[in-house]
Chains A and B, each alone.
Chain A
Amino acid sequence: MNYNLNTFVSDIQNQNYAILNLDLNKNGRLVAILQNQLNNNGQAMDDKSIEEYVESRNFHGGRWTRFNIMITSFLQYCRDVNPWSSWDSSDLIFKYYSDLNNCLLNDSYPCEALVPVFIEVTEFIIPLARELDNHYLELKIKKHQFLSHTSMIISKLFNSIKSNSENVTEIFEQLPHKQRILLYLVNKLNNIYFRIESPQLCSNIFKNFKPKCSLANFSQFPINEQIEYRYLLGRYYLLNSRILNAFVQLNNSFRLLLGLTSIPNVNQTPQLQRNIKRILKFLIPTGILIGKRFRFDVLSHFHPEMVNMYSELQQNIRSGNLQKVNNWLKLYQADLLEANLLLILLEKLPMVTYKYLIKHLIVEWSLSQGFNRLPYDLVSRALRLSIGKDDYFSLNDSTTTITIFNGIHSSDNVENVLVTLINLGYLRGNCFPSMRLCVFKKTNNISDIMPAIEERITSMFPLNDDDSWLED
């Protein structure tokens, strides 16, 4: 192959930018040839010569300084890259990536044609940054240094994208290239923020996504990008304890992903299968937290391991058995911690469990005898059964250490539990502290006294308005 610097220059002049790829697995031959030429048998071209060489080629009439800087960076990379060490080459690699990115910031230059190579390089850079960050201790760099740096570069591009409000279109293919990669960039950034343990940084991206968008409908973006966006948004809401919002995004993500999966193909696309499991890992507990119950047959088809784990929990909640709910949390503590789910479940499962416990009492004691009241004493006995004796912390007990499993609940909290159920709308009734009695409407229909959890949550906790355009 007679490739040389001159052919490279004419490729660039012909806007054949695909050759500007750093990835040696894809572009190694070209880089090797250029390395040979630029090193010129020991007489390497120095930086100044490369710079002058690039300038003298008069790309884009010489008016686009950032373009020349980028081409110079690429040639410097070719000259100096050490194919055996990404660490040695990392300065060169990130310098070029940043210079390439800079070319895309100003729309008054013909940057459109560079977008595909930017994507190629980004797909190369992110795994590389992850790999380098994995060795931060040996490399004596800050934790997440390379991914943080990468996110700063990408966010510059994200910030440079502006909505063309006069030209809002319904057709993705009519968008300028930079607009077409908007959701791609959003997902890349959010993934990085999750990985560098700073998911709060996603908030800014979620907020600025729509104002930058020139598409009339979210659904016009590539479907796989929509699904990933919802997955990330759902997980972000979950980290912020916003259960209903998390549920809506994760559930839609799941449903859209099923729409991409054909029956004959479901077992043959491992990526799809694994993505389905990723969503379910967060969707199932989120659903349970808003009082939903999953179908065994459907879940066992996609994620059999989860069925055992969560059907036990569902059963314990539905029986009103708080001790068993706590035992379940203890049993799966390590997994739940890893997924950041332990504390949210510890906080938000008990009121659902109490609801079913009290419901049981009302049906079997009050309604069965035609009463419209529930005495505190009976509730206290039921709480004692539900919370359990073994795990029960009492003030005179100096030997039991207080933990998250025995320190929160107590059968002394009868009125407190009833009051909280009433405040959340799960129990329609009144407390009479002086008579130690809870009184409700005279009816035989339990759902008039205790409405469904999901119904109450949807009326008390509105969905985030900013997301409404996702559903149009």
Chain B
Amino acid sequence: QITTTEKPVNQNKKTLEEDDEFEDFLVDQWPASTTLKDSKEFHTNLWEESWDDVEVDDNFTNDLRAEIAKYKQEHQ
């Protein structure tokens, strides 16, 4: 038993969930076809093919369009 006379000051220990360190886990041998990476029914590509062709339409974009329209008018 450790006894000390000071109050713990720094006890903000992280919970398991918050800890960034990897946990050990058992490596199971699944047939490749049943793993997430190679599954057909489950899409696992985390990233979209392209971001550039996405249409954006939000308040800011509308404000920007209005500003462009105003500028066009002023410079006709």
Contact = CB atoms under 8 A, between A and B. Distances in A.
A298 B68 contact: no
Nearest to B11: A134
Given A137-B8, A263-B39, A360 B64 contact: yes
B73 interface: no
A388 to B, nearest CB: 10
Interface string A183-196: 00001000100110
A258 B46 CA distance: 11
A318 B52 CA distance: 9
B44 to A, nearest CB: 5
| Main DSSP-derived SS at the A contact region | helix
A326 interface: no
A204 interface: no
A254 interface: yes
A436 interface: no
Interface stretch (A15-23, A99-107, A378-386): A378-386
A265 B28 CA distance: 10
Given A260-B27, A261-B36, A262-B34, A85 B2 contact: yes
Interface stretch (A164-172, A274-282, A389-397): A274-282
B51 A194 contact: no
A87 B3 CA distance: 10
Contacts of A320: 60, 64
B36 A293 contact: no
A222 B37 contact: no
Nearest to A131: B13
B25 A272 contact: yes
Contacts of A295: 43, 45-48
A297 B22 contact: no
A294 B43 CA distance: 12
A285 interface: no
A266 B35 CA distance: 9
Contacts of A256: 37
Contacts of B35: 258-263
B52 A260 contact: no
Contacts of A261: 35-37
Interface in B6-53: 6, 8-11, 13, 16-17, 20-28, 30, 32, 34-39, 41-48, 50-52
B21 A191 contact: yes
A456 interface: no
A224 B23 CA distance: 10
Contacts of B56: 315, 318-319, 360
Given A223-B27, A261-B35, A281 B13 contact: no
A74 B75 CA distance: 88
A364 interface: yes
Nearest to A363: B68
Given A87-B2, A381-B71, A297 B43 contact: yes
Interface of B: 1-2, 4, 6, 8-11, 13, 16-17, 20-28, 30, 32, 34-39, 41-48, 50-52, 54, 56, 58, 60-61, 63-65, 67-68, 71-72
11 contacts: A138-B4, A191-B22, A254-B46, A263-B39, A274-B17, A278-B22, A292-B51, A293-B54, A298-B44, A382-B67, A452-B50
Given A251-B46, A320-B64, A361-B68, 11 more contacts: A259-B32, A260-B27, A261-B36, A262-B30, A265-B28, A281-B20, A291-B51, A298-B44, A318-B51, A359-B52, A377-B71
Q: 7 closest A-B pairs (Cβ-Cβ)?
A: A138-B4, A271-B25, A259-B37, A262-B30, A258-B37, A258-B36, A293-B51
